Structure 1
Amino acid sequence: MMSTTWFESVIEAQRRAKKRLPGSVYSALIAGSEKGLTLADNLSAFEELRFAPRTAGHAPERQLGTTVLGRDVALPVLISPTGVQAVHPDGEVAVARAAAARGTSMGLSSFGSKPIEEVVAANPNTYFQIYWTGTRDDIRRRLDRARAAGAVGIILTLDWSFSHSRDWGSPRIPEKLTVKEMLRFSPEALTHPRWLLDYARTRRLPDLSVPNMAEPGTPIPTFFGAYGQWMQTPPPAWDDVRWLRAQWDGPFLLKGIIRVDEARRAVDAGVSAISVSNHGGNNLDGTPATIRALPSIADAVGDQVEVLLDGGIRRGSDVVKALALGARAVLIGRAYLWGLAANGQAGVENVLDVLRNGIDSTLLALGRRSVQDLSRDDVIVPAGFTAELGRVQGQEADGLTPQH
C-alpha cells in the first residue's frame, strides 16, 4: 500500500508545500523578478515542444544513468544550489542525503544554511557554488575550504543580478528572529503548525545565517550581510573567470550562460561545463526560457564542454526534451525545495523518483534504450521556438567565429 505522504507529481509537491509553509516563506520560493515573464516562459516553453513516439520495438528496460563532469549519476537530474533552505530544519543536509540515496550530485550554495563539511559528509558527490563576492583573497579562502572539505567541483554562478522589484511584492524576511519579529510573524506560523513543530523539535528557530561565507575567526554572517557584500563587489570580467578557473584544478561548471558568444567565452576561459540558465526567472525579466536558448548553444560548444540546463523542469518528460535538444543533464531548484518542504528528505527523494519515472516512461514511448540515444528526431520544435542570442547578422558578437 502506497504511503499517504507519497505524491505523484512535482505539482502535488508544490501544493503540499504551499499548504505546509507560512505564506511569506512559500512566496519566496515561487516568485520571479519584476512581472515574471521569464519565470512563466521557463515553464510554458516546454509545453510548445512535442514528441515523435514509436509504437513497436521498445526496449524492455531503459538506462537512465549518465556521466556529468566525469562522475557517474543514476539519472540525468542534479541538485542546483539554492540559498538558505529554511523550508525545513535539516535544509541542505536533507537534500544532500536524498540526492545520495538516489545516486545523483548535490550543488551547495555558498549562501546555504548548512556548512559544507556537513553537506559533503551527507553526499560525497557535492559541488560547491561560488558567487563573485569580496576580494580575490576572500574567494580563494572559500575555495580552499571547499577543497579541504572534499567538494568534487565548483559551480560559479553568474546569472544573478539585483532585482529591483516584483510585481506581486517581495515577502518581508527578517535578518534575525528577534522577539519583535517573532510577534509579527506569529500569525503566519501559528496557522501552519506542522512547519512550526518541525523547528520546535530541533529546539532552535529558523535563521538566515550562512556559515559558508564566514571568514576564519569572525562571526557567521547573515544572508543579508553576505548579500550586501555581494552587491558592493564589482562584477567579474572574463579575466576574473579565467583567474578563478586557474585556482581550481577539478571540475568547474559555469552557471548562467544564455548567449552563444558567451558560451564560447566560457570555453576560452577553460571551464569544464556550462549551464544554460536565467536563475529560474530571478535575473533580468524578459530573458527567453533556457530551453529556447539551449539548441544553439549546444550546437556551438557541445563538442567542447558539457552543456547542462536549468529552469522550468517539472516533469520527467521535460528532462527528456532538454536532453534531446543537447543537454547532458539538467539541474532542478524549486522542484526539490517543494519536496523538502512537503516531507523533508523523503520528499526530495519523492521528487527525484517522480522525475526518474517520467524519464523512463518517456524513453519507453520514444523507443529509446538509453538517455544517450535521445536526439532531436524525438522532439517536434515549432517554427520560431529557438532563441539564438549572441549572433549578429550571421557573425557572432565580439568578433568570434560564426557557426554554420
Structure 2
Amino acid sequence: MFGNTPPKLTTDLAHLEEKARETLSAEAMGYIVPSAGSGATARANREAFDRWRIVPRMLRNGPERDLSCTILGTEMPAPVMLAPVGVQTLAHSEGELATARAATSLGLTYTHSTQASYSIEAAAEASGDGSRWFQLYFPNERDLCVSFLERAKTAAYSTVVVTLDTTMLGWRPADLDRGFLPFLAGSGIANYLTDPVFAGSLAKPPEEDPAMAALRFAQVFPNPGLSWDDIAFVREHWDGPVVVKGILSAEDAKLAADNGVDGIVVSNHGGRQVDGAIAALDALPGIADTVGDRLTVLFDSGVRTGADVVKALALGAQAVLLGRPYLYGLALDGQQGVEHVLKCLLAELDITLTGAGYTSHRELSRESLVTA
C-alpha cells in the first residue's frame, strides 16, 4: 500500500458503501444496503459502536502478537468470519464463489447462505480446503430441511447456523418501492433449484418452468411458526456444532443454552428485519454475561472497521462476523475486492489492538472501553 502506489480500492472501510454505489445497480443497492422500515435499527447499530471508546494503555506490548483462535472446533487466524449473505450475484457475477475463494486464500471461515446464488456444492468446491459453515433458513417442510443439512454435511461444512430472525422478510421499502425481490426472479434460490427434494415437488424441472419453481420457493420459505422444537430437530439431523443467529435477548440466550445449541450470534440482521429494534452491540454485554460460560457467543450487525471488532470482542464476543463491507469489496473488484476488504480489516484490527496496548484479543475486557 506504500511506495507511492495507491491501492486500487480505498482502505477506509467505513466509506466503502459510497464507492460501491458507483458500481451497483439501483436494484442491487436497494436490496443490499437499506434496512427495515425507516432504517432506525441500522442507525442504532452504528450509534452503539460510536458510544464506546477504546482506552489505550502504554508500554504493555511485546514483539509477538497472536490473534489466532478456535471457534467451535474451527481453527481461525483471527476472530473474524464471513457472515452469510444471500444473492451475492447482485454484487458480482461470481458471487459466493468469489467470496468463498477469498476467504480460503486468507484462512478465514466462509459461511454459505441458504439464499445463495450458487449451490451448497459449488460454494464448497470454490472453498476448497478452507473452513466453511452453512447458514440455514429452516423451510416450512422438514424433508427439505433434512436434505439441505445432508447436502451440507456431504460437502464438508462443519457447523450449521440457523437464522431465527427471518422466518419471513422484514418490511423493506427500498425493495417494495421498486417491486423488486430477487428470489421471484430466480436469483438467490440455487440451493432450492439444485435440491432433489425441492425438484421432486415440482411438476416440471426448474429449468423448464423457472417461474413455477420461484413460486414454489415462495411457498416453502416463510416459516413464522419456527420453534425450539425445530432447533431440536436440527440437532437430531446434524452431528456438528449448531449455532442460532438473531439473539438479542438474554432470556432467549438462556433458552438457546437450555435447548442444546453450541453457540449464538448476537445479531439484528444488520437492521434488515425489525425497524426500531435494539442495537446488537447494546444487547451483547448482557447476553455475554448471562450465557458466556455456557455458549460460544458470536456477533454481527454494524461492524465496519477493525476498531469495531475490538469493541465487540471487549464486550463479550468470541468472534465477529463481517457482512456488508466484504460485499462492497465484491462489487468493486470481485474476489480481489473481497480479499482487499478482509486484509484491511485484519490489518486494522491488529494495529488497533497494538496501539491500545494488547498483544492478543484475548486480553480485551470490559475495562478496555468506556462509554462516551
TM-score for both structures, normalised by structure 2: 0.89
Superposition pairs for residues 175-190 of structure 1, below 5 Å?
Answer: none
Q: Which runs of 4+ in 1 moved over 4 A?
A: 167-170, 174-178, 220-225
- Take 1:4 and 1:364, find their aligned partners in 2: how far apart are those partners? 23
- Take 1:224 and 1:308, find their aligned partners in 2: how far apart are those partners? 34
Superposition pairs for residues 253-292 of structure 1, below 5 Å?
Answer: 253-292=243-282
Superposition pairs for residues 4-403 of structure 1, below 5 Å?
Answer: 4-86=7-89, 87-123=91-127, 124-160=130-166, 161-166=168-173, 170-173=177-180, 208-214=187-193, 215-216=195-196, 217-218=199-200, 219-220=205-206, 225-231=216-222, 233-381=223-371
State the 1:70 CA deviation: 1.2
**Structure 1: which amino acid aligns with 2:114?**
S
Cα deviation digits, residues 120-177 of structure 1 (max 9, x gap): 1222411111112131111111111111111111110011243234279544436699
- Take 2:371 and 2:14, find their aligned partners in 1: how far apart are those partners? 25
Kindly indicate whether the alpha-carbon contact (under 8 Å) linking 2:66 and 2:360 is maintained by their aligned counterparts in 1.
yes
**Which entry has the higher C-alpha Rg, 1 or 2?**
1
State the 1:5 CA deviation: 1.6
Kindly indicate whether the alpha-carbon contact (under 8 Å) linking 1:49 and 1:379 is maintained by their aligned counterparts in 2.
yes
- Total equivalences in the alignment: 353
2:22 is paired with a residue whose SS is helix
Q: State which drifts further: 18-27 or 28-37.
A: 18-27
2:221 is paired with a residue whose SS is helix
Closer/same/farther in 2, CA of residues 38 and 265 from structure 1, 3 Å limit: same
- Take 1:320 and 1:304, find their aligned partners in 2: how far apart are those partners? 22
1:336 is paired with a residue whose SS is helix
- Take 2:78 and 2:321, find their aligned partners in 1: how far apart are those partners? 11
State the 1:50 CA deviation: 0.7
Kindly indicate whether the alpha-carbon contact (under 8 Å) linking 2:53 and 2:369 is maintained by their aligned counterparts in 1.
yes
> What is the root-mean-square deviation of aligned Cα atoms in Å?
2.1
1:322 is paired with a residue whose SS is helix
Q: Percent identity?
A: 37
Kindly indicate whether the alpha-carbon contact (under 8 Å) linking 1:75 and 1:103 is maintained by their aligned counterparts in 2.
no
- Take 1:258 and 1:209, find their aligned partners in 2: how far apart are those partners? 27
State the 1:61 CA deviation: 3.4
- Take 1:313 and 1:4, find their aligned partners in 2: how far apart are those partners? 22
Kindly indicate whether the alpha-carbon contact (under 8 Å) linking 1:260 and 1:297 is maintained by their aligned counterparts in 2.
yes
1:34 is paired with a residue whose SS is coil
Kindly indicate whether the alpha-carbon contact (under 8 Å) linking 1:111 and 1:223 is maintained by their aligned counterparts in 2.
no
Closer/same/farther in 2, CA of residues 132 and 356 from structure 1, 3 Å limit: same
TM-score for both structures, normalised by structure 1: 0.82
- Take 2:65 and 2:328, find their aligned partners in 1: how far apart are those partners? 28
Closer/same/farther in 2, CA of residues 306 and 209 from structure 1, 3 Å limit: closer
Residue of structure 2 equivalent to 1:201: none
- Take 1:25 and 1:223, find their aligned partners in 2: how far apart are those partners? 19
